[in-house]
Structure 1
Amino acid sequence: MDLAPLRSQAVAFGRSSRRRQRARAQQAGALRNDVGPIDLAFFMMANSRVAEAEPEQWRRHFTLMLDALRAAPRGGPAAR
């Protein structure tokens, strides 16, 4: 059984879904307008490396990343 067509459909659906979610967040003013798919991919890769290197720091790093993506950052200290 060739699963390649099914995989292609799943990948396309995932991209489309992420694109719609990003657009909704930007339209709502929750996500910076200049954030694109590659930014989100790099943030996820970076956070996975923090979790590997410093397991206790991933929450703080993730909070900092989310704040950087916000259209209007909340400010204040990141969670520890």
Structure 2
Amino acid sequence: MTEASEKKQLLHLVFGGELSSLSGVQFKDLSKLDIVGIFPDYASALMAWRSKAQQTVDNAEMRYFIVHMHKLLDPEAKGE
């Protein structure tokens, strides 16, 4: 087995959009969500999140999130 196949995938989704209110996490328009991508580990997801967050720093209502998909797919497993 190669090192890549031995390492367990810990999938992370990075997405964002404009919020209706700064005090919640309800989006103004779901059709305008920005799906940045799915990443094989937290480190690469964090890099993508930082990049998008920096690009939208002037819009206070724009928020990006990292979703730990591996925790949703296998809640019993341990990982990041």
| Normalised TM-score (structure 1) | 0.31
Larger helix percent: 1
Q: Which has the higher strand share?
A: 2
Quick check: which has more Rg, 1 or 2? 1
- In the superposition, the TM-score normalised over structure 2's length comes to 0.31
Relative contact order: is structure 1 or structure 2 higher (C-alpha 8 Å, sep ≥ 6)? 2
